[in-house]
Amino acid sequence: MSIRLVVYIFTFVMIFITGIFVLLNNNKNRLNQTFFAFVMSVDLWVLSLIFADNSSSLEIVMFASRAAYVSAILMSLFNLYLSFIFPNKHFRIKKLALILISIPSILLIAFAGTSLVVQSVSIKDYGADVVTGPVYILFFIYLVIYLGMAMYNYTMSFRKSKGAVKLQVQFLLIGILISAVIAAITNLVLVVMGFSSLGYLGPPSLLLFIGLTAFAIVKHKLFDIRAVVARSVTYVLTIGVIAILYSLIAFQLTGRFVDSLSHGWRDAIYVVLTVILAFTFSPLRRFFERISNRIFYRDRYDSQELVNEIGRILASEIDLDKVSSRVLHELSKQIKIDKAEIIVFGENQLFYENNVFKNGGGQISPEELSKLGRIIVVRDDIQTSDKKELMQKYGISISLALRTSEKFIGYMLLGEKKSGDIYNDQDLAVLKIIANEVSVAMANALSYKEIQLFSETLAEKVRQRTAQLRHANDQLKELDKAKDEFISMASHQLRTPLTTVKGYASMLQEGDFGKLTKEQMKIVEQTLDGSNRMARLIDDLLNVSRMDANRFFLEGNQVDLNKLVPEELEQLKSFAESKKVELTYAAPKQKIPIIQIDENKTRQVVMNLVDNALHYSAPPAGGGHVKVSLVLNGDFVEFWVADDGIGVPAAVQKKLFTKMFRAPNAQGVRPDGTGLGLYLVKRVVEQQGGEIWFESKEGKGSTFGFKLPLSGIPKQVLEESKKIGAKVAASHAKSGT
């Protein structure tokens, strides 16, 4: 067997194993399916070249050569489709675009099996020598165009991505680009020029693609197949060790004297060996499972357990040094960080806990700290800048600003993970929660520290500070409780694979998987309705977050409320039917003029008010009624929603529009509510120059309404919104998002 054939076969096997691992990890994921189809088409190309370059039959060589061109067409098609959905696996390419990019491929596949592409072949020492046909130039142009389009998509994804995703795209892009260039030169360009002798270099070039993809899989969690790899390694090692031990015992030790025994004794010995084999399999499997977990999951930790433990530390300590020390110790132990530091700004000095971020010039200075800004900064997400150079200089991977609503406290600086892995999205989400809790605790601890330093001469201040600390401690407990409720809600609401559900439900509704019965269509519509409600919840959370960050702004659009309101009610129709609530709409007697308002946020207002009315209407046993009205009243348009539901207790009506507040009776009816809807409604309506009101009696129902001026959003608000919008756009452009 020649070295070239060995390389061909090795390349074929490695590509096949990579594709199988990715598919087995999640065979229902479109990204995994597409990557598998792509690597299998590459494998088909390698297999075709194996037969084309190593067969002595002209018929087989001709068939294999044409098959190689067919597989090259499939490679280009699947690579282009992969570039559309990687790394954004939820991206939906339009059906028309998919058809347009598939038609040339189908036509060329039809030509590839004829003499129009491969006219004749001859067998040389180096393998098949191909004489191309008249359509070969179209094949060449096709590959160049499709490869160019795919590379453009990968490049744009690389520019827009950041963190671990950016590195994943980078390795996949480099691997495909280099392999494609080498394969194109040796198997396309030189073939056109009459040189087929270097065609054997095409398949080995794919080893670079496989190597970089494998590196991205293991190092940067591409396709996250660690679970499959870990299980495979566990069982391969277990079975291998058992096979060796069993063979050694059965055929080496017993083989010397077993022949002298009777048939019954031989059977008894083998039964004993079989029992030993059965009892040793499970312990060996657990042993190798622990080893593989250390290799593939050495940085794994329970995020909820970490947050809870930090909360217990903050609740039990008030001393600045002890709080800092215990928090950093817990972070380093669970996330496995090589070094960490909390720096707190006192009135006249900096408080360092570990003083570990140093270089040849000494510890990091206050002036240098100021360059980090007052937000979370991840070094791997920054392009070249002074901030990145500063973080590299001191070995800082993440900078978390510690701040409360009243003042800036300091920084929590984290080094690299001991495993060498980068900080993923889970790490960042957990660290943000911890930073918020630590900020409050540090503010308390810093105050306590200052009281200790000046207690001898400032006795009155000590009493004042103690009272403040008690009040702050009560606030901390309330924040801790709110945090727990939020995390509980998020675990049930935001973990749902919303986009995947909506995508598949839409495909079912559109008939992509065949025509549905009426009952099936109703179920699909209910699924879409639930997904849309979840999307609206996420929108509410995002808008409230923008409000808190002073990044909330309005966009003035020419809006027809005569169409907007019925459209929003149509989306809630199936939900109302499921709740057995009668939803009616009283259209305006006079047509509402077109007004300049923020269409998307106004839709949210309408949707939130009607959705609340449906949720809190009378129970299904007696049925419920929700009436929606739109009225033109002078220079204003008025919107009303009336229900006969649970109502709002008089004692809590003053708090109804405050953030995250929910009446006790509402919590019983709808435990998963957030208390953000009415807060958002009030802010949007008032910022557009309108007013909101409500009337309610507990157990009798509620009526919510708002009015907007026909003159639209006030000019001053629009100008301010444009400035905020420009700043947000500039911030997104600078960060590449």
Q: Domains in the chain, start-ordered, CATH in brackets?
A: 3-223 (1.20.1070.10), 228-296 (no CATH), 303-458 (3.30.450.40), 550-723 (3.30.565.10)
pLDDT at 484: 44
User: Mean pLDDT highest for which of 80-89, 377-386, 544-553, 645-654?
Assistant: 645-654
pLDDT at position 269 over 80: no
pLDDT at 559: 93
CA distance 172 to 213: 6
Q: Is the pTM of this model over 0.75?
A: no
Mean pLDDT of 686-691: 92
pLDDT at position 228 over 60: no
Q: How many CA atoms lie within 13 A of 509 on its CB side?
A: 14
In contact, 73 and 105? CB cutoff 8 Å: yes
- Structure confidence by residue, pLDDT tens digits, 95-112: 777 788 888 888 888 888
Q: What is the 3-state secondary structure (H, E, C) of 182-234?
A: HHHHHHHHHHHCCCCCCHHHHHHHHHHHHHHHHHHHHHHCHHHCHHHHHHHHH
- Which candidate, 186, 181, 60, places its Cα nearest to that of 126? 186
Supply angle C-alpha 213, 214, 217, rounded to 5: 90
How confident is residue 527, by pLDDT bands cut at 50, 70 and 90?
confident
pLDDT at position 240 over 80: no
In contact, 238 and 284? CB cutoff 8 Å: yes
Spatial CB neighbours of 21, under 8 Å, sequence gap ≥ 6? 217, 225, 228, 229, 232
In contact, 585 and 565? CB cutoff 8 Å: yes
Take residue 495 and report the two structure tokens written for it.
Answer: 């973990």
pLDDT at position 626 over 60: yes
Mean pLDDT of 727-737: 62
Name the 3-class secondary structure at 157: helix
Q: Which string of DSSP letters, residue by residue, matches 582-609?
A: EEEEE--SSPPPPEEE-HHHHHHHHHHH
Query: How many C-beta atoms lie closer than 10 Å to residue 714's C-beta?
Result: 14
Of residues 509 and 542, which shows the higher confidence score?
Answer: 509
pLDDT at position 295 over 70: no
Query: How many C-beta atoms lie closer than 10 Å to residue 615's C-beta?
Result: 21
- Structure confidence by residue, pLDDT tens digits, 664-682: 888 888 877 777 788 889 9
User: What residues pair up with 145 in beta bridges, in sequence order?
Assistant: none
Of residues 24 and 328, which shows the higher confidence score?
Answer: 328
Of residues 531 and 620, which shows the higher confidence score?
Answer: 531
pLDDT at position 223 over 80: no
- Structure confidence by residue, pLDDT tens digits, 326-342: 888 888 888 888 888 88
Of 180-189, 360-369, 415-424, 559-568, the one with minimum mean pLDDT is 180-189
> Could you tell me if residue 26 is left (phi over 0), alpha (psi between -120 and 50 degrees) or otherwise beta?
beta
Take residue 383 and report the two structure tokens written for it.
Answer: 């392009």
Supply angle C-alpha 407, 409, 412, rounded to 5: 145
pLDDT at position 706 over 80: yes
Sign of torsion over alpha carbons 144, 145, 146, 147 = positive
Of residues 296 and 288, which shows the higher confidence score?
Answer: 288
Mean pLDDT of 604-624: 82
- Which candidate, 251, 248, 223, places its Cα nearest to that of 22? 223
pLDDT at 710: 93
Identity of the residue numbered 532: N
pLDDT at 230: 47
In contact, 710 and 636? CB cutoff 8 Å: yes
How confident is residue 593, by pLDDT bands cut at 50, 70 and 90?
very high
Which helix (H) or strand (E) segment holds residue 731: the answer is helix 715-735
Helix spans in 458-548 (H): 459-493, 498-509, 518-548
Share of the chain above pLDDT 70, in %: 70
pLDDT at 69: 81
Average pLDDT, the chain: 76
CA distances for 456 relative to 349, 462, 570, angstroms? 20, 9, 70
pLDDT at 585: 94
CA distance 342 to 319: 14
pLDDT at 596: 93
CA distance 76 to 665: 60
How confident is residue 606, by pLDDT bands cut at 50, 70 and 90?
very high
Mean pLDDT of 290-312: 71
Name the 3-class secondary structure at 494: coil
In contact, 41 and 71? CB cutoff 8 Å: yes
- Structure confidence by residue, pLDDT tens digits, 134-169: 887 888 788 888 888 888 887 887 777 766 567 667
How confident is residue 704, by pLDDT bands cut at 50, 70 and 90?
very high
Of residues 75 and 188, which shows the higher confidence score?
Answer: 75
pLDDT at position 298 over 90: no
Of 3-12, 455-464, 686-695, the one with minimum mean pLDDT is 455-464
How confident is residue 70, by pLDDT bands cut at 50, 70 and 90?
confident
In contact, 50 and 7? CB cutoff 8 Å: no
pLDDT at 488: 41
pLDDT at position 46 over 70: yes
How confident is residue 597, by pLDDT bands cut at 50, 70 and 90?
very high
pLDDT at position 51 over 90: no
pLDDT at 602: 92
Mean pLDDT of 367-386: 79
